[in-house]
């Protein structure tokens, strides 16, 4: 039997009466929706209990912001607090599910454009909540060197093909900032090597997007394609493949996540997961001088608000240096 989760005593009627007014208006809309869907009183009460704990934490520690102004890091901070206070994995999953369900409702009503909980992995038994990892320029360079060494030192065709895929996957994901589903769905026939774009890629929820990749990635893709032709590897038209049931076929999202964890271990970043390539690429491009509008377009966002809130990590060192120029 699972160990009973520690109860976090945070209920406070006085604080609840002061919770951000916009948050409470959104909650009332959500309660009406749950009522129309005929959810039981017990279910609604469970959601409310989970959410009230979250709102009180926001009031005490995060400036009593509206929930639609929170970043993924803000939510992770609350979940980390719950974990350190003794919540077990089952309790953590329930908290995350309650918050996610609220955001899903807001997205369905077009009150937000993306659910920040979508990118947070649910904990497994006896594991911690996974947080975002933003790769630095130095870590990306280490990744390049490590994966190139893996390719050069491969002593069998199988190992060489796998190493080439790891190399292409990591740098393709960083360069295009594509969601994992888009990476898995990428086919050779969609790639325009002359213009370095991938056209008509199916992303999440059936959205069709265009991906843009670097000259470096172009050479890696061409190298992978040539290796497969030379070694008669039939890939069913997909760029990234895995071997199952006696043949190669399109990778699953789960396989790409496994590749990412393996790559992360290679460069001593064990927390790395697939969506981190997307966040990292966005932040690296922005900090290198690319406009927020261009980063947002490459991410296939509908506007810059989501990009700014959930994808860009502020370069604090650069801000500090810029501040020094104006000190008085």
Picking from 119, 154, 183, the residue at the C-terminal end of a domain is: 119
Q: Tell whether the model's pLDDT for residue 45 goes beyond 70.
A: yes
Q: Tell whether the model's pLDDT for residue 127 goes beyond 50.
A: no
Residue 36 CB burial class (10 angstroms; 0-12, 13-18, ≥19): exposed
Residues 66-98 pLDDT 10s:
999 888 888 988 888 888 888 888 888 889 999
The CATH number of the domain holding residue 93 is 1.10.150.130
Q: Do residue 177 and residue 218 come from a single domain?
A: yes
- pLDDT confidence bin for 120, thresholds 50/70/90: confident
Give dist(CA 228, CA 213) in Å, integer: 21
Q: Do residue 173 and residue 292 come from a single domain?
A: yes
**Residue 254, number of CB atoms within 10 A of its CB:** 12
In a domain, 158, yes or no: yes
- pLDDT confidence bin for 6, thresholds 50/70/90: very low
pTM over 0.85: no
Residue 89 belongs to domain spanning: 13-119
Cα torsion 31, 68, 299, 145: sign: negative
Residues 159-168 pLDDT 10s:
999 999 999 9
The number of domains in the chain is 2
Give dist(CA 289, CA 116) in Å, integer: 25
In a domain, 125, yes or no: no
In a domain, 1, yes or no: no
Q: Tell whether the model's pLDDT for residue 232 goes beyond 90.
A: yes
């Amino acid at each position: 039997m699972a160990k009973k989760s520690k109860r976090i005593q945070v209920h406070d009627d006085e604080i609840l009466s002061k919770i951000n007014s916009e948050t409470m208006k959104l909650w009332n809309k959500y309660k009406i929706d749950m009522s129309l869907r005929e959810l039981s009183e017990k279910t609604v009460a469970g959601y409310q209990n989970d959410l009230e704990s979250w709102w009180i934490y926001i009031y005490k520690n995060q400036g009593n912001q509206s929930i639609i102004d929170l970043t993924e890091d803000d939510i992770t901070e609350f979940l980390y607090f719950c974990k350190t206070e003794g919540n077990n994995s089952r309790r953590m999953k329930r908290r995350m599910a309650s918050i996610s369900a609220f955001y899903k409702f807001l997205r369905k009503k077009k009150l937000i454009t993306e659910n920040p909980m979508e990118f947070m992995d649910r904990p497994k038994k006896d594991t911690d909540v996974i947080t975002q990892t933003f790769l630095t320029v130095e870590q990306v360079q280490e990744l390049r060197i490590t994966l190139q060494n893996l390719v050069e030192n491969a002593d069998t065709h199988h190992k060489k093909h796998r190493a080439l895929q790891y190399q292409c996957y990591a740098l393709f994901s960083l360069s295009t900032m594509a969601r994992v589903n888009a990476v898995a769905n990428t086919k050779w026939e969609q790639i325009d090597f002359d213009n370095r774009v991938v056209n008509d890629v199916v992303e999440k929820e059936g959205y069709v997007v265009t991906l843009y990749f670097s000259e470096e990635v172009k050479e890696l893709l061409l190298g992978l394609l040539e290796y497969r032709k030379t070694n008669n590897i039939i890939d069913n038209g997909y760029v990234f493949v895995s071997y199952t049931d006696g043949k190669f076929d399109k990778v699953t999202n789960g396989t790409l996540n496994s590749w990412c964890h393996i790559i992360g271990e290679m460069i001593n970043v064990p927390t790395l997961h697939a969506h981190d390539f997307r966040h990292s690429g966005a932040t690296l491009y922005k900090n290198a001088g690319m406009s927020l509008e261009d980063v947002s377009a490459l991410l296939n966002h509908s506007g810059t608000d989501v990009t700014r809130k959930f994808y860009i990590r502020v370069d604090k060192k650069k801000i500090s240096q810029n501040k020094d120029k104006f000190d008085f």
